[in-house]
Amino acid sequence: MILKQFNNQRPITVGFLVLIALSLWSFSFYNPGADASTVASSIYPWFVNLIEGIPFIQSIAAIVLIIVQAIMINNIINESQLISTKTYIPSLVYIVLMSSTPEMLNFHPGLIGNFFLILMLSRLFKTYRDESSFAKIFDAGLYLGLASTLHFPYILMVAFGWAALSILRSFAWRDWVIFTLGTTIPYCFILTYYYAFDNLTNVSDHFILFAENRVFEDIEIPYYYFPVLILFVGLILLGAKTVFLEWRIGAIKVKKLLSTLIIFSLFSFLVPLLLSELSIMLYTGLAIPLCVYLSNYFINNRKPIVAEVSFFLLLGSIVYLHVVTL
């Protein structure tokens, strides 16, 4: 059984995570995804130019990023006690989510953005009942600022930071100011760069917040996507139900952290809608809270065989989708 192999904290399990990631991303070497620069804003195209020209370098970099992020978020979940046992199942679920469609098997802004968003959440979580946490709040804002330099609409998640601080701590206007100041730091350096090269007039071209024309009409979903979509929707609903039950009986800290993740889910869903081109690559932020919801379902399911079959069907539908799109 797959889940059983990851329901532990043995070091060898990390090797299995690497094998899963390599297996799913092997399809990217045969069928590269869409060009992410067409949906990117801010300085992402500059970043990609640094790793272009070397065969497969983007796929390799993406695999490394996903594995690192999976371990990072697993550590955060275990430390915060967002699941009932210490396990690598959140890492497994995150890798599967980040490899679930052909469009995502590519180096894209969401990959790097998630790295900074995970760091932001980690710092925010650590502010709970910490009276001297100004440095953590500033760091959280800084990580959000860095994420927004790769996908500028993330800047709207400043409002999420304010909401998270209000949930995790008693309200203090200084917290909001410090978080906002941290977010602006990367832009101070960017504006300095543009000013130094006498190019300030073009800075707005790289930081587009609202799309002028939103093209959401005539969206067609190929039939071979439906197995994955149906399984995802069903498992997310079951996971949300499980998390709600855990929220009801959980400690105050767990309730506050789960509430923060729910708000993060809403922002991660709404922010990409600001772009003119609807792309699943920009919804990768949802993988962070969803791996918590799904992991809770898989771990707390009273019938382990049902959880195993559900995960196997999900994994099988993802592999099927990758095969038919080769």
| pLDDT tens sequence across 178-200 | 999 999 999 888 888 777 776 66
Number of domains in the chain: 1
pLDDT value at residue 256: 92
pLDDT value at residue 306: 94
Domain that holds residue 164: 2-324
pLDDT value at residue 120: 96
Query: What's the 3-state SS for the chain?
Result: CHHHHHCCCCCHHHHHHHHHHHHHHHHHHCCCCCCHHHCCCCCHHHHHHCCCCCCCHHHHHHHHHHHHHHHHHHHHHHHHCCCCCCCCHHHHHHHHHCCCCHHHCCCCHHHHHHHHHHHHHHHHHCCCCCCCCHHHHHHHHHHHHHHHHHCHHHHHHHHHHHHHHHHHCCCCHHHHHHHHHHHHHHHHHHHHHHHHCCCHHHHHHHCCCCCCCCECCCCCCCHHHHHHHHHHHHHHHHHHHHHHHHHHHCCHHHHHHHHHHHHHHHHHHHHHHHCCECCHHHHHHHHHHHHHHHHHHHHHCCCHHHHHHHHHHHHHHHHHHHHHCC
- Cβ burial 249-264 (10 Å sphere, 16+ → b, else e): ebeeebebbbebbbbb
pLDDT value at residue 34: 53
pLDDT value at residue 207: 65
Write out residues in the chain with pLDDT < 50, as ranges: 38-40, 215
pLDDT value at residue 94: 96
pLDDT value at residue 21: 94
What are the pLDDT digits (tens) for 228-275? 999 999 999 999 998 888 888 878 888 999 999 999 999 998 877 766
Separation of alpha carbons 58 and 105, rounded Å: 10
pLDDT value at residue 38: 47
pLDDT value at residue 35: 54
In this prediction the pTM is 0.90
